[in-house]
Structure 1
Amino acid sequence: MEEISGNGDAHGNLLKPNSIHASGSFKSSLSGRSGARNSPAFRRLQSSRTPRRDLRSGSWSLQWIRSNRVVFWLLLITMWAYIGFHVQSRWAHSDHRQKEFVGYKDGAFGVKNQEDASKDSKSNGSNPPNFAVKEPKGGKNIKNSDSSDSKLSVKRITSMVKSSMSKRGRRVLKKVAPKVPVMESTENESDDVLIPKRNTSFGLMVGSFGNIEDRIFEWSPEKRKGTCDRKGRFAKIVWSRTIILIFHELSMTGAPLSMMELATELLSCGGYVKAVVLSKKGGLMSEFDKRGISILEDKGEISFKAAMKADLVIAGSAVSSSWIEQYLRRNPAGSNQLVWWIMENRLEYFNRSKNMLGQVKMLTFLSDIQSNQWLSWCKEENIKLKSQPMIVPLSVNDELAFAAGIPCSLNTPAFGAEKMTEKRDFLRIEVRKEMGLSDNDMLVMTLSSVNPAKGQLLLLEAAHLVTGRNVSQRDPIIIESELSLHFIQNQTAVAEHLETNQTGNAVVVKRKPTSKASKKRKRKRSRSNSLSLLDDAETAKQDQRKLRRLLSDKIGAEEQSLKILIGSIGSKSNKVSYVKRILGFLSQSSNMSKSVLWTRATTRVASLYAAADVYVINSQGVGETFGRVTVEAMAFGLPVLGTDAGGTREIVEDKVTGLLHPVGHEGTQILAQNIQFFLNNPPARKKMGLLGRQRVQEKYLKHHTYSRLAEVFIKCMKVK
């Protein structure tokens, strides 16, 4: 019988190998050392072992989306609509500035256009506009002098953007391009370039002296912030209220500075402040950051919605009429919470805003003269106001009052008013030393924007008459009589008060007989009152004698020399053509140019007031609306030489706190006489300065302004 082979059955048929055993045998034979791991058989076996879960989790979902074309296109349309809405909303809320959006190439193309513009200007032979490079936040500082490095960096950025876009050309959406330094025009500050730091033809550029102030006053930015009077009426009204402030610009002039200080006071008293800035040109942006004043990015729809939710809206200039018109068009009911604090007094500003004057809740003005002028214009145009206007004059802020030695909220036991007066005198010595002035120099200062309305050229013409000795001296007897009359009036008032008090006491005693003890007490009171009043009368007589002695005494053998300080160079409101006229006038007189100093626009003016001897406010036309710098100079004890017009007439009492002169060329000769009088009579100017300082303490401090603003807020603020 034949043997049966291992691969067949009993009948000789071949048997199929069991799949389970076969696979197991193959696995055992190939999984050991004898099998090659990279052999084709091993790769075939491992490739066939793909788990079903991976297929279901990854490729199945993509296959399902591809198979459902409707769902696929709906997803694409939704993504495209969302991205378009995102781009449009960012553009609408970005104040129309140049920014990088998804799918746009503004950064690279903006730099290229500027380079092309500069090439075109060079080819045409014209001078390219001046640009200042502003570095984005968080970036490295780019120096203006390293022009080659900046050009290389711009080229690198553009090449990177182009290469990244070429790699992702098939994609519809592209990443945001890297930020490029923004180029801003600096044409408004070209007058600062016209005046070099040292030149015998133009004069000397001085300041600013902020570091000297900090060293002498020993204060930090935290100490410079005034504290709110929590018990006062103003603080109780604005606590937890939301107030919108409208700034027409951020220049270092009266209206923006006053509105900025109002925002600071509101924040200090617990209010919520949001600022709407119509023009961001100026130098106050850094001050806003230091004081924590938030600015709304959009001056359009976002500002209108914020104003609708606010408790009060205050517009700080007649230039804000365009914003007011658009806001009331969207929200007519908002006029009941709208206050318009107008700080201009020219017909052009009235014509610009006359259509909206009768639609706001209340108008506020700075002086009676300004209010009467605007009301007469309204009467001519038949404009009916909703309410009677109120007068809210400007005041000296706490920082300047503290530096001037006037009691304010910044005073502490270690830094009282007397201590600060000593520091102010020491500051005067240090600053005058930096300016190169001697004790024999009389510094006449004017701090205003340099334009024809401020009359700096007329001031220099008057000074030219003084230095050339072509001016007739004013008779000091006339001014002495005026000052004497001022003290006589005070003495008469004291005497009348004394007589009425004595007669009143006599009548009271006769009509109401009382006990002996009460009679004794009343007699003691009447005696003490009469003695105090007699002391006041005696003090007035002594002051009158001292005044006569001061006016009769001269400085001595040596005569004082005249120096003039003009600011503010670099201000947005300066007129370059007018600055060139002034420089041309100085170049024709070598003696005059040696007496002129220049200073840049700055908020640190305490050192300038401390160094000066006389202040000049030579506003032309209808005069100054109020004169914020006038009351600041008076706070430092400076006599004022001003035009007899506008708000200066209300602030300065002629021949008492200063001397007034007519506007125009007619007043140039009188202004020269007034300067010559102060040169010859230093004691008289010191006495006038002290009287002006007393007037500021009586009428123009911070609590005077905010007490009147409290009345305005009560009438116009939204009732909770």
Structure 2
Amino acid sequence: MGKPSSTSLWLTTQKKKRWPLMILLVLSVSTVGMILVRSAFDSCSVNGNRCGRFVAEKEETSGIKIGSPNPLGFMKSKLVLLVSHELSLSGGPLLLMELAFLLRGVGAEVVWTTNQKPVEADEVVNVLEHKMLDRGVKVISAKSQKALDTALSADLVVLNTAVAGKWLDAVLKDNVRKVLPKILWWIHEMRGHYFKAELVKHLPFVAGAMIDSHATAEYWKNRTHDRLGIKMPKTYVVHLGNSKELMEVAEDSLAKKVLREQVRESLGVQSDDILFGIINSKLSITFILYSIFKMIKNLLNLLFITGVSRGKGQDLFLRAFHESLEIIKETKKLEVSKMHAVVVGSDMSAQTKFETELRRFVQEKKLQKVVHFVNKTMKVAPYLAAIDVLVQNSQARGECFGRITIEAMAFKLPVLGTAAGGTMEIVVNRTTGLLHNAGKEGVSPLARNIVKLATNVEMRTTMGKKGYERVKEMFMEHHMSHRIASVLREVLQHAKVHSRTTK
């Protein structure tokens, strides 16, 4: 990063006492895996009438007050078995791990088991298991008698990801039917190869399925019916939300100013230039697990952040960005500041074919001075502070949810997103951003949307404010924690009713 400007140094001096805290907060929103300290979920029933697309969600959460009693308090003394397909720093296991901490926080007895563990000693697995043990979570072998006994006696079993379905027959065997009525199956996958009978044949018989977005839930409903001929159980859509730690950074204008100046200086972007950013992030951690990542910081870049990929649509974004520059050049009446694009999550050291294609395109179109590649990084907040518009260009079925979108909206950024997947459940078209089709047919519409926002400061500002308001209304953790609680209540009730009828 370049030498800080005099303004940055002055601001840093003014915040001398607060700066260490701000650094920790920035680290706490690093893009390495979404861990919600007090939970940040949103849910509604797909099968029932409790919830529409967004209106019912807003009505249900409008009366929630910050500081109200912990909605998970009813889980005190309950025995909960959490079954993860693996223990790693990817999104699924970390989400389940945080649920373990939330439940321990209200006095639940929590037991964790990992179905697929590496044969050889693994530093990440070791650190994560010890962190759970330190927080009072019991860790047991997946294929042990203890795992079977715990499953039979548990009040609730949470099965995490479709792949974890292998554990049911392998461990429970003849006891599967006894445990199914108290299983909540948390599904995050969108790819077709997960729809195999060996993985999800028991899915129709569990108490409920919890899925990241309406689009993903609908995809699972149709795909399981068409390919496997099975019916989904009662399904809850669980939207993620922004933690208090991220919101503190997003709402600290001085911190954002410092970050914006320093990142832009490092990229060679002037204060009046317009910067469009496409950020390939996983999920975001919060402060509670920062100690874990300090212990294994030498592994962070390798494990946390994926590189660029065709599915994230960086190639189509760059084509649209180039097309937008051509539109502006040909339309002499348009007045616009110099435009830049930044691709966060690049990794030339990997030397993938796709990475090479991206850089070759930039060279061929002579865009080296306005297109910037930023290597894999843990810290997403500085780039959200630095850019003017977020581009969420995930292809095919889109994102299951796309937490980077609500993070950007917290920073009052308009979003240019594909009309697919979870993005459509976050971005209100022409209000908090502009949507375009996925695929090659979406390149020209995206280019036109880039021009619209580049040439209209008022539109960018208004959309950014509306996005922030939407986050405050729907995607804050004090809204979402009540949703996960309502799901667990229903699953426990289902298990209770079933246990009575089978006696």
Using the size of structure 1 for normalisation, the TM-score is 0.51
1:668-706, Cα deviation, whole Å (9 max, x unpaired): 111122122222223311211110111111111213322
Matching residue of 1:567: 345
For residues 696 and 295 of structure 1, the distance between their equivalents in structure 2, rounded to whole angstroms, comes to 35
Question: In structure 2, how many angstroms separate the alpha carbons of the residues matched to 1:677 and 1:458?
Answer: 18
| C-alpha distance 435-222 of structure 1, shift in aligned 2 (>3 A) | closer
The answer for the alignment partner of 1:630 in structure 2 is: 405
* Match in the other structure for 1:57: none
Residue number in structure 2 paired with 1:340: 185
- For 2:311, the equivalent position in structure 1 comes to 453
Deviation at 1:308, TM superposition (A): 4.0
Q: CA deviation at 1:244?
A: 3.2
Q: How much does 1:653 deviate?
A: 1.0
Counterpart Cα distance in 1 of 2:200 and 2:427: 30
Aligned to 1:704: 479
CA positional deviation for 1:660: 0.7
Of 168, 174, 185 in structure 2, the residue corresponding to residue 324 of structure 1 is 168
Q: 2-side partners of 1:212 and 1:645: how far apart?
A: 44
| CA spacing shift, 1:324–1:217, aligned 2, 3 Å | same
Give the letter aligned to residue 272 of structure 2.
Answer: N
SS at match of 1:322: helix
**Deviation by residue 1:3-36 (Cα, 9 ceiling, x = unmatched):** xxxxxxxxxxxxxxxxxxxxxxxxxxxxxxxxxx
Pairwise CA distance, 1:362:
0.9
User: Which residue of structure 2 aligns with residue 539 of structure 1?
Assistant: none
Alignment of 1:131-530 (within 5 A): 215=20, 217=22, 219=24, 226=37, 231-232=68-69, 234-249=71-86, 254-277=91-114, 278=116, 292=134, 296=139, 298-301=141-144, 303-329=147-173, 331-332=175-176, 333-351=178-196, 353-380=199-226, 381-385=228-232, 387-405=233-251, 420-448=252-280, 449=306, 450-469=308-327
Equivalence for 1:46 = none
Q: Distance in 2 between matches of 1:674 and 1:558?
A: 14
Alpha-carbon offset, residue 401 of structure 1:
2.1
Alignment-derived partner of residue 621 in structure 1: 396
The C-alpha deviation readout for 1:552-586, integer Å capped at 9, x for no partner, is: xx9xx772321213226599xx9934333333434
The 1:471/1:454 distance shift into structure 2, 3 A limit, reads: farther
Deviates more, 1:460-469 or 1:681-690: 460-469
Show structure 2 runs of 5+ residues with no match: 3-15, 30-35, 40-65, 281-305
Which of residues 485, 490, 497 is equivalent to 1:715?
490
CA distance in 1 between partners of 2:160 and 2:410 (Å): 24
Distance 2:273 2:432 in 1: 21
Say whether the 8 Å CA contact 1:396–1:631 is kept in structure 2. yes
The residue type equivalent to 1:716 in the other structure is V
Deviation at 1:667, TM superposition (A): 0.6
1:609-641 CA-to-partner distances (Å, cap 9, x unmatched) read 222221111111122222122112111111111
Q: CA deviation at 1:214?
A: 6.0
Q: Distance in 1 between matches of 2:18 and 2:80?
A: 33
Residues 339 and 452 (structure 1 numbering): CA distance in 2 closer, same or farther, change over 3 Å? Answer: same
Say which structure, 1 or 2, has more relative contact order (CA 8 Å, 6+ apart).
2
Q: Does 1:591 align with 2:367?
A: yes
Question: What residue is the counterpart of 2:433 in the other structure?
Answer: 658
> SS of 2:486's equivalent?
helix
Distance 1:221 1:238 in 2: 32
1:641 corresponds to: 416
CA distance in 1, matches of 2:244, 2:153: 31
**Greater radius of gyration (CA):** 1
User: 2:309 is aligned with what amino acid?
Assistant: N
Kept in 2: contact 1:251–1:282 (CA 8 A):
no
Relative distance call for 1:626 and 1:340 in structure 2 (3 A) is same
Equivalent residue number for residue 496 of structure 1? none
CA contact (8 A) 2:432 2:463 kept: yes
The structure-2 alpha-carbon separation of the partners of 1:705 and 1:290, relative to structure 1 and needing over 3 Å to count, comes to: same
Contiguous gaps of at least 5 residues in structure 1: 1-196, 199-210, 406-419, 476-553
RMSD of Structure 2 on Structure 1 (CA):
3.9
Q: Provide TM-score, normalisation by structure 2.
A: 0.70
Partner of 1:689, secondary structure, is helix
State how far apart, in whole Å, the 2-side matches of 1:222 and 1:592 are: 30
Q: Closer, same or farther in 2 for the Cα pair 1:591/1:382, shift >3 Å?
A: closer
User: Which whole-Å CA distance do the structure 2 matches of 1:593 and 1:282 have between them?
Assistant: 41
Q: CA deviation at 1:712?
A: 1.8
* 1:249–1:282 CA contact under 8 A, matched in 2: no
Q: Is the Cα–Cα contact under 8 Å of residues 640 and 652 in structure 1 kept in the other structure?
A: yes
How many matched pairs? 413
Determine the C-alpha separation between the residues in 2 that align with 1:471 and 1:308: 68
1:57-82 CA distance string (max 9 Å, x none): xxxxxxxxxxxxxxxxxxxxxxxxxx
What secondary structure is seen at the aligned counterpart in 1 of 2:72? Answer: helix
Q: Please give the alpha-carbon distance, in whole angstroms, between the structure 1 residues aligned to 2:117 and 2:318.
A: 32
Q: Distance in 1 between matches of 2:373 and 2:230?
A: 47
Q: Is the 2:37–2:98 contact (alpha carbons within 8 Å) kept by the matching residues of 1?
A: no
Distance 1:289 1:469, change over 3 A: farther
Deviates more, 1:236-245 or 1:291-300: 291-300
Classify 1:230/1:455 alpha carbon distance in 2 versus 1 (closer, same or farther; 3 Å). same
Amino acid at match of 2:166: S
State how far apart, in whole Å, the 1-side matches of 2:324 and 2:124 are: 35
SS in 2 for 1:426: helix
Residues 678 and 558 of structure 1: CA distance in aligned 2, closer, same or farther (over 3 Å):
closer
Contact 1:471 1:669 in 2 (8 A): no
Q: Helix, strand or coil for the counterpart of 1:621?
A: coil
Once the two structures are superposed, residues 97-123 of structure 1 have per-residue CA deviations (whole angstroms, 9 ceiling, x without a partner) of xxxxxxxxxxxxxxxxxxxxxxxxxxx
Change (3 A) 1:237 1:593: farther
Note if 1:690 corresponds to 2:465: yes
Deviation string for 1:635-665 (max 9, x for gaps)? 1111111111122112111111011111111
Q: CA deviation at 1:427?
A: 3.2
Contact persistence 1:444–1:613 (CA under 8 A): yes
The one-letter code of the counterpart of 1:345 is M
Matched residue SS, 1:344: coil
Change (3 A) 1:247 1:585: farther
Q: How do 1:124-135 residues align onto structure 2 when only pairs under 5 Å count? A: none
SS at match of 1:677: helix
Q: Is the 8 A contact 1:252 1:601 kept in 2?
A: no
Amino acid at match of 1:355: K
CA contact (8 A) 2:243 2:477 kept: yes
Whether contact under 8 Å (1:471, 1:672) holds in the other structure is no
